Structure 1
């Protein structure tokens, strides 16, 4: 009721005039009811999720709490596989490994269900989960390359992980990215030729009559994750696409298709026929999967450390310790075959370090007993830095009403909620990332040498791979959606796909309930700055090219919008880049798959060096960040590991 009262008070404040009160009485109450019922709807209950940790673990005894507690057979619950983290990869592992009825699987997730939350299901609602209990609300260390600022870094705390809070853009990187992985680790199974079958395995591509040029034979048809064109796309984003073509960026029907990644086109999405998000939770943890007697999914179960003992002279992960709250009881469970950490690029290295696996000197700083000295844990953190540009929408048809500031905004929001709830149509079906373009900064057509004489080092994974992505959103926003504009806006965005700036994840204490430190070291190299400068310049050129230029109000020269940005010097735009740089939510590579002497944490089979029975599977194992969106690669990596494990167990 507190949330209801807050909404009601805001509405009443906006309806202070008598005429507005009449409107409210005539239809506003019913409209408000629709909104409140939607936003405050009771969660969808998933009865097969376990919140009572006594049902999946045994209490940790007081004398064990200060030591590396080792579960013993016949006392503690035992599973074949324990998966730490029910994120994008973790849900895949739980579903696939439990397909074998003889394999007992326990999935432990620190948050609750993502599918139970309206803001996760509705395509345009995901940013409303930021700054709530459903995410870890990280803030980075001050970044010298970004004006000494800290940056808000939301990471998911719910089943489905970041696939439950992302923009649902189904683009997986460039084929050369995976060839690069294979070359670094020396394992051809990671090459695109071999790895792509796992991309197809998770896909259920639904053809669209307007996009018949997509080669359906290159897409999977029977996987758990629906991909296609069920989101809405604004006319302005269609104009952006045509303007890109008009300046020389070729159209492509499929960024994941045989023609490669480069070009501009509408983005496929993880949105299904019901116009709802498809996360790894909804795609893989279906009611049928949750009925399996050999699978247990525990929610609100935060793993505090992996338990390691010496077996036959070798270190081996034998179980995990977990709890719901800092003050609450701790529990433990035993793993016969594998402990697989799937906490993501921030939490996976954090859990390893809490468990004594990481840089020895750093562990000793926090009085954590060293189990395995692995200097690469937490290092090589790379994220895609994004720059947002803001424009006035001349047509006044943006989604400004999604953050209502007036009575008319509330009515527009009401109408849109009704459209979505009843008809499954309207602008709320947008995923925000509607159209994208992938380019190279050494493309002489887009960046003529006469204008850009400086030769920048090629950091891409191959000649067909991009180093910049542009994308559009149907309105502009700041602070990750927390702040909007009081006028109708449209936004263009550019981010660097292959940065040469690397940061790290580090312990702030030995307390597992304290978040680790995150330092992405944005824009530490001049190369990264220069490539983003080229990206901003090209975006400004696109904004001034028809037909997009006809729907943006270039005469609107207010200082908080960017219609006059092209008049600025390079040094002034560089200052803007350093001021505005933000995360686009793609951190990777903090538990890299690489040789041990080259900063590697896991081998080609995702086994943690030096500790048997312990693997990592999520974006943290990426040898290098992919040239695009990370969710698809996370799904495919988990599909591959599941196949590899089952094949190994059979033999």
Structure 2
């Protein structure tokens, strides 16, 4: 068995892991090992923004998880793609960039995550972003000096998308120029993690500069089996790659950035979690922490598909000759339909005028498609569009649990969808919101019919049954190792340290006390950037050795 020693050992080269190691290695001296279960991200369809659809179900880049049968969704096992590649899910996601709403982070602070309120995190967002946008004169300009590129692609979007904005105005909704950092109800063009016509993943933004430093080692195609300990202190990891077993030692800390599914799985495999669950799989209970894996939250969306009477992206991507021409245009200029993600217009909305804070997010895509049985999107050849809506802050909570003691076995994912009356009512409001924008003159004028659900499906109960039959994740799992007040209500303290242990943190979306109102990639990278500063502060003061009293 081979052995190696580092200051920090980080598990997962995804959105969080890449952002974290960039800051930890900046001094050129701190030795950091970054471990990734997948392989290289140097693939054409990862870099091309529209390649999202190509990689959605690619087993070479994806853990390809499925949930357990979800009772509220008519017993369906829903496909949950998660990135297994350098860049993680930021290498296969739809690139929409949304910070979330101030109330999200103020809610975190109230839930026990002191130091994570909106006034704490807003400067972190500002510092990590570099916006490529258009000035008041229409000319390209840059705002911000961060490593992460966020682009305004409004001038390249399909002309049909302007009809979504016009429909929003028909509905009386405010439209805005920068949807990425909006803090109230508004609709606009989505800004995207795209840089000069190519995806700007967390690996492109953060890992690329870090790899130029001699104090970072990146290990790919490596499966972590469990965390090693000396008493209550995490000392390293046991992993396997290329048929060989390795033990790596962390002189300062082990940091899990494996995501909301795999971070709780790895804690449980290491004997940290609910004792009954661990013993059921023959695992020794190292540390009793019942909330590991619990508290799972996600966004559940419903999409309605329409046939259009005006050209949409289907006229290009759904047919071979124009698709080839678009490909040549992209190769020559890094512009055109292939350079823009499919999520083009959307925003935060209040489903009731009496609400002070938006409770819904919408997506308006100038493309119609269906999901094949294996999860792959199948494009419509005729012009069409999709309208989707989701409840921003659901209250249902599910869980992640190990299936066995085998590190290679996929975990059990139990979303527990629509478990609360608030979420069930929210599903009905999401349907009503889609109906409202679909009926707006700017859209109805170019709509031939609704394709899915069938146009005769109008009764509210029938539409709710359609929701149960078709609604799906929008790939925002969070909160399975959430920050909180104590071991009785959470897994981590407000500095992302595992309650009752030292030398071990979790830095990824699993640490969110609750899911943010919108897309979770931006908050995940922000969390990692802020966490890195905390880790370095604690190293300077010796607080990384602190063990919190474990409440049994």
TM over 0.5: yes
Aligned twin of 1:179:
106
Equivalent pair of 1:86/1:161 in contact (CA under 8 Å): yes
Is the counterpart of residue 646 in structure 1 residue 536 in structure 2?
A: yes
Using the TM superposition, give the Cα deviation of residue 253 of structure 1 relative to its aligned residue in structure 2, in angstroms.
2.6
Is the counterpart of residue 249 in structure 1 residue 173 in structure 2?
A: yes
State which of 291, 306, 311 in structure 1 corresponds to 2:227. 306
Aligned twin of 1:319:
236
d(CA) in 1 for partners of 2:332 and 2:145? Answer: 28
d(CA) in 2 for partners of 1:101 and 1:154? Answer: 35
Aligned twin of 1:633:
523
Is the counterpart of residue 80 in structure 1 residue 4 in structure 2?
A: no
Using the TM superposition, give the Cα deviation of residue 195 of structure 1 relative to its aligned residue in structure 2, in angstroms.
1.5
d(CA) in 2 for partners of 1:178 and 1:96? Answer: 23
d(CA) in 2 for partners of 1:512 and 1:497? Answer: 33
State which of 441, 447, 455 in structure 2 corresponds to 1:564. 455
Matches within 5 A, 1:336-415: 336-399=251-314, 402=317, 409-415=319-325
State which of 473, 490, 503 in structure 1 corresponds to 2:385. 490
Aligned twin of 2:439:
544
Aligned twin of 2:204:
282
Structure 1 residue ranges without an equivalent (≥5): 1-57, 60-75, 404-408, 445-462
d(CA) in 1 for partners of 2:188 and 2:331? Answer: 29
Matches within 5 A, 1:248-267: 248-257=172-181, 260-267=183-190
Equivalent pair of 1:167/1:432 in contact (CA under 8 Å): yes
State which of 157, 163, 185 in structure 2 corresponds to 1:233. 157
Aligned twin of 2:194:
271
Is the counterpart of residue 105 in structure 1 residue 32 in structure 2?
A: yes
Equivalent pair of 2:316/2:326 in contact (CA under 8 Å): no
Against the structure 1 CA distance between its residues 563 and 578, is the aligned structure 2 distance closer, same or farther, given a 3 Å change threshold? closer
The 4+ residue runs of structure 1 with deviation greater than 4 A are 210-214
Flag the structure with larger Rg.
1
Equivalent pair of 2:170/2:440 in contact (CA under 8 Å): yes
d(CA) in 2 for partners of 1:140 and 1:561? Answer: 24
Using the TM superposition, give the Cα deviation of residue 597 of structure 1 relative to its aligned residue in structure 2, in angstroms.
4.6
d(CA) in 1 for partners of 2:56 and 2:167? Answer: 33
Using the TM superposition, give the Cα deviation of residue 400 of structure 1 relative to its aligned residue in structure 2, in angstroms.
5.5
Using the TM superposition, give the Cα deviation of residue 647 of structure 1 relative to its aligned residue in structure 2, in angstroms.
2.2
Aligned twin of 1:475:
367
Cα offsets for 1:422-457 (capped at 9, x unmatched): 12222112211111121123325xxxxxxxxxxxxx
Is the counterpart of residue 204 in structure 1 residue 130 in structure 2?
A: yes
Equivalent pair of 1:236/1:548 in contact (CA under 8 Å): no
Equivalent pair of 1:468/1:497 in contact (CA under 8 Å): yes
Is the counterpart of residue 223 in structure 1 residue 146 in structure 2?
A: yes
Using the TM superposition, give the Cα deviation of residue 650 of structure 1 relative to its aligned residue in structure 2, in angstroms.
3.1
Give SS of 1:207's match: strand
State which of 394, 402, 417 in structure 2 corresponds to 1:507. 402
Aligned twin of 1:587:
477
Cα offsets for 1:363-404 (capped at 9, x unmatched): 00001111111111111111100101100021243335535x
Using the TM superposition, give the Cα deviation of residue 495 of structure 1 relative to its aligned residue in structure 2, in angstroms.
1.2
Q: Number of aligned pairs?
A: 536
Is the counterpart of residue 147 in structure 1 residue 74 in structure 2?
A: yes
Aligned twin of 2:547:
none
Is the counterpart of residue 427 in structure 1 residue 342 in structure 2?
A: no
Aligned twin of 2:418:
523
Using the TM superposition, give the Cα deviation of residue 465 of structure 1 relative to its aligned residue in structure 2, in angstroms.
3.4
Using the TM superposition, give the Cα deviation of residue 623 of structure 1 relative to its aligned residue in structure 2, in angstroms.
0.4
Matches within 5 A, 1:21-40: none
| Between 625-634 and 467-476, the greater mean CA deviation after superposition | 467-476
Give SS of 2:295's match: coil
d(CA) in 2 for partners of 1:588 and 1:468? Answer: 18
d(CA) in 1 for partners of 2:382 and 2:180? Answer: 36
Aligned residues: CA RMSD: 2.1
d(CA) in 1 for partners of 2:350 and 2:294? Answer: 27
Using the TM superposition, give the Cα deviation of residue 595 of structure 1 relative to its aligned residue in structure 2, in angstroms.
1.8
Is the counterpart of residue 134 in structure 1 residue 61 in structure 2?
A: yes
Q: If the length of structure 1 is used for normalisation, what is the TM-score?
A: 0.79
Aligned twin of 1:50:
none
Using the TM superposition, give the Cα deviation of residue 301 of structure 1 relative to its aligned residue in structure 2, in angstroms.
1.2
Cα offsets for 1:229-258 (capped at 9, x unmatched): 13632222211111112112112233354x
Give SS of 2:379's match: coil
d(CA) in 2 for partners of 1:292 and 1:186? Answer: 33
Equivalent pair of 2:100/2:183 in contact (CA under 8 Å): no
Report the structure, 1 or 2, having the larger strand content.
Answer: 2
Give SS of 1:505's match: strand
Using the TM superposition, give the Cα deviation of residue 220 of structure 1 relative to its aligned residue in structure 2, in angstroms.
6.3
Using the TM superposition, give the Cα deviation of residue 646 of structure 1 relative to its aligned residue in structure 2, in angstroms.
1.7
d(CA) in 2 for partners of 1:202 and 1:275? Answer: 20
Using the TM superposition, give the Cα deviation of residue 534 of structure 1 relative to its aligned residue in structure 2, in angstroms.
1.7
Give SS of 1:320's match: strand
Give SS of 1:644's match: helix
Using the TM superposition, give the Cα deviation of residue 211 of structure 1 relative to its aligned residue in structure 2, in angstroms.
9.1
Aligned twin of 2:549:
none
Aligned twin of 2:545:
none
Aligned twin of 2:544:
none
Aligned twin of 1:11:
none
Aligned twin of 1:67:
none
Give SS of 1:245's match: helix
Using the TM superposition, give the Cα deviation of residue 294 of structure 1 relative to its aligned residue in structure 2, in angstroms.
0.9
d(CA) in 1 for partners of 2:503 and 2:5? Answer: 14
Q: If the length of structure 2 is used for normalisation, what is the TM-score?
A: 0.93
d(CA) in 1 for partners of 2:136 and 2:54? Answer: 31
Aligned twin of 1:459:
none
Using the TM superposition, give the Cα deviation of residue 106 of structure 1 relative to its aligned residue in structure 2, in angstroms.
0.4
Against the structure 1 CA distance between its residues 399 and 548, is the aligned structure 2 distance closer, same or farther, given a 3 Å change threshold? same
